[in-house]
Structure 1
């Protein structure tokens, strides 16, 4: 259980905006309400509840990613979609923790998601209610609140390897910390929080001692995909061996 805090640090989360698009989180309360409440919540995604606008929201997003990247295998698009959403969740939580010392309550029923948006994923929060900004609370909110149920849905629908999904999560967390490291006033806190989170049982071992992942996100299997900067491979496997990767 996490403790809700009554504090008025920054109700519009404006301080996140200079950090870049992956860190931005807009609030429905601060925008014209008519355009956003119809968006599905992430709770609907995790609970297999359809959306009036998109039907099966997760399948809609995976198809959109597949079409945009030319992915011929649905599990590749599912992996890329998963990493994109994980990166957004980590970035918001970590960014708030280092800027404010607190994180907003990002419970799935409070976050709305537009699966038809371009990258990075478009997330809207119903209102800002603050929680403690320690690693334990972040793990409860992001890992247990989002990434565990998201992994269950993805494994049911697309059968990606479990190690691939947690590798995506670890890689996305490390990427958010690296981005925050460009700010000298945020770097140490971001690094320390990321290190604590990467020691969590769900993430431990997903990256090696140099920060490279131990699993592959399958990006190299896209047309012209190549290797990610933290890929476990030093060169892309040959096509004959691709079926065993990930």
Structure 2
């Protein structure tokens, strides 16, 4: 992977450069928070445990319940898929935003990230320590291997969600994060950020775990699977879905997600 020349910025304790990009990109950090870090929140390492966690509650099951209640999902498998896609979107946005703006990543170890399962972005994740990672940003290791792979294993074991669906969610979340970052960068005259984001995204979609998840045209992405959002009452197909309309529905009923 060859990245464009970059004017290096030090990672600041608040990761403040991410805030103008919007809620999915912003990340709370303990160094910038008022008062002590919320150590009672479970870490993502605890969340990814295949078996329910002990001592701090079961964050994964709690998140699935939250999504079920808020969207009236008809079964846990649907809520689990949508919960995973939401967390994937957060992780991709933070990592891609840092890599494109700062030229480096903070250590996103699952043990350093705490998750408030009832909150929405940007209040859902807390990075307890900002540790700059040396060298070029490695998003495949930082997000795919350390987060999405163990999260997928837990969801398959506990809710029976298909692997292809979950990796499709990961590809969809990456495509959405890249598209929003490109839109922001071009609107603010940051073509350098747009080019870096495109290079990083191209490299990620060449990864074996994401290569077959969909097709790309510029910043547009069309996935080869479905996240099951159409099964939510009042839902439809998403803009990048493999379906043109919800299965077993009449034409004109696909409202979709924004």
TM-score norm. by structure 1 comes to 0.89
Structure 1 residue aligned with 2:75:
73
Contact kept? 1:197, 1:203, Cα under 8 Å: yes
- The alpha-carbon deviation at position 133 of structure 1 amounts to 6.8
Structure 2 residue aligned with 1:180:
181
- The match for 1:18 among 13, 17, 20 is 20
Q: How many residues align?
A: 231
Structure 2 residue aligned with 1:228:
238
Structure 2 residue aligned with 1:50:
53
- The alpha-carbon deviation at position 34 of structure 1 amounts to 3.9
- The alpha-carbon deviation at position 46 of structure 1 amounts to 1.4
- The alpha-carbon deviation at position 131 of structure 1 amounts to 1.6
CA deviations on 1:49-70 (whole Å, 9 max, x unpaired) are: 63645x2110000000010001
CA RMSD of aligned residues (A): 1.8
Runs of 5+ consecutive residues of structure 1 not aligned to the other structure: 1-6, 240-246
Q: How far apart, in 1, do the equivalents of 2:122 and 2:223 lie?
A: 21
- The alpha-carbon deviation at position 132 of structure 1 amounts to 4.6
Structure 2 residue aligned with 1:243:
none
Structure 2 residue aligned with 1:145:
146
- The alpha-carbon deviation at position 189 of structure 1 amounts to 1.2
SS of the residue corresponding to residue 212 of structure 1 reads strand
Q: Are residues 209 and 173 of structure 1, via their aligned partners in 2, closer, same or farther at CA, if it must alter by over 3 Å? A: closer
Contact kept? 1:104, 1:129, Cα under 8 Å: yes
Structure 2 residue aligned with 1:112:
114
**Higher helix residue share:** 1
- The match for 1:237 among 225, 230, 247 is 247
The reply on whether 1:193 has 2:200 as its aligned counterpart is yes
Matches for 1:77-96 after TM superposition, within 5 Å:
77-96=79-98
Q: Are residues 133 and 225 of structure 1, via their aligned partners in 2, closer, same or farther at CA, if it must alter by over 3 Å? A: farther
Structure 2 residue aligned with 1:63:
65
Which has the larger displacement, 120-129 or 230-239?
Answer: 120-129
Q: How far apart, in 1, do the equivalents of 2:101 and 2:121 lie?
A: 24
- The alpha-carbon deviation at position 41 of structure 1 amounts to 0.4
CA deviations on 1:94-116 (whole Å, 9 max, x unpaired) are: 00000000011000000000011
Structure 2 residue aligned with 1:206:
213
Structure 1 residue aligned with 2:227:
217
- The alpha-carbon deviation at position 159 of structure 1 amounts to 0.6
Q: How far apart, in 1, do the equivalents of 2:19 and 2:52 lie?
A: 31
Q: How far apart, in 1, do the equivalents of 2:144 and 2:91 lie?
A: 9
TM-score norm. by structure 2 comes to 0.85
Q: How far apart, in 1, do the equivalents of 2:66 and 2:122 lie?
A: 13
